[in-house]
Amino acid sequence: MSIQILRDLRGLRVQVIHPPDGEGVSLVEHLRRIGCSVEAQWPVPEAFASTADVVLLAVDSDSRDAIRKLLKTVDGIPPTIIAIVGYENPSTLQLVLEAGALAVIERPVRPFGLLTHLTLARSLWMERQDDERRVRKLERKIAGIQKIQRAKSILIANQGLSEEDAYATIRQQAMAKRIPMEEMASAIINANDLLTYRGKGD
């Protein structure tokens, strides 16, 4: 995985949100030497570039409101954020935490270490995405188990089946219709809810 990340660095799309001073210009030039595609912006834009894989964000108290406004625009998966800071005061550190930065570069920015920060931040970002995918998969699995359990309870109550027979019925019906058991369970639950609703109406 680490070797693949190093290879992918050459194709990274990087948004640099930093004043266009000597430090900012040097930063952009070094990123391009690494092989990144770079877009530099200042002042702080209203939104992250939709194509950005990585954002290098200059964090300071003067830009606090603009940065917080920028962070609120994130919809879905955020880019890999690397903060650039000049002072370690509580206000700056709070902004770094709010930004969800996965690495921090201290001013004055030097070329040495930039590649390491990019690699580590990107690696952490990818691990986080993998973890979130695993969590979502587990949540779907648990939701499916809960649906099957509820459908079994309905069959037990309405048809007097044992728990084993109720499970077997759901499984057989799902196989006959060539659908997942969770989908069959949902159909049983929906049918029961509909009949219960109509019963109340009568």
- Quick: pLDDT tens for 101-154: 999 998 888 878 888 888 889 889 888 888 989 999 999 999 999 999 999 999
Residue 56 CA to residue 82 CA, distance in Å, equals 5
Cβ proximity of 62 and 44 under 8 Å: no
For residues 54 and 108, state if they share a domain: yes
- Joined together, the tokens standing for residue 76 give 């879905």
Number of folded domains in the chain? 2
For residues 145 and 118, state if they share a domain: no
Cβ proximity of 146 and 138 under 8 Å: no
Q: What is the CATH number of the domain that holds 20?
A: 3.40.50.2300
Task: State the pTM of this model.
Answer: 0.72
Alpha helices in the chain (DSSP H): 2-8, 22-34, 64-71, 90-99, 114-159, 163-177, 181-201
Specify the pLDDT at position 201.
54
Percent of the chain past pLDDT 90, that is, above it, reads 51
For residues 177 and 120, state if they share a domain: no
For residues 13 and 84, state if they share a domain: yes
Enclosing domain of residue 175: 138-201
Specify the pLDDT at position 178.
93
**pLDDT surpasses 90 at 8:** no
Specify the pLDDT at position 195.
79
Q: What is the CATH number of the domain that holds 168?
A: 1.10.10.10
Residue 182 CA to residue 46 CA, distance in Å, equals 43
For residues 125 and 142, state if they share a domain: no
For residues 108 and 152, state if they share a domain: no
Name the amino acid, one letter, at 134: R
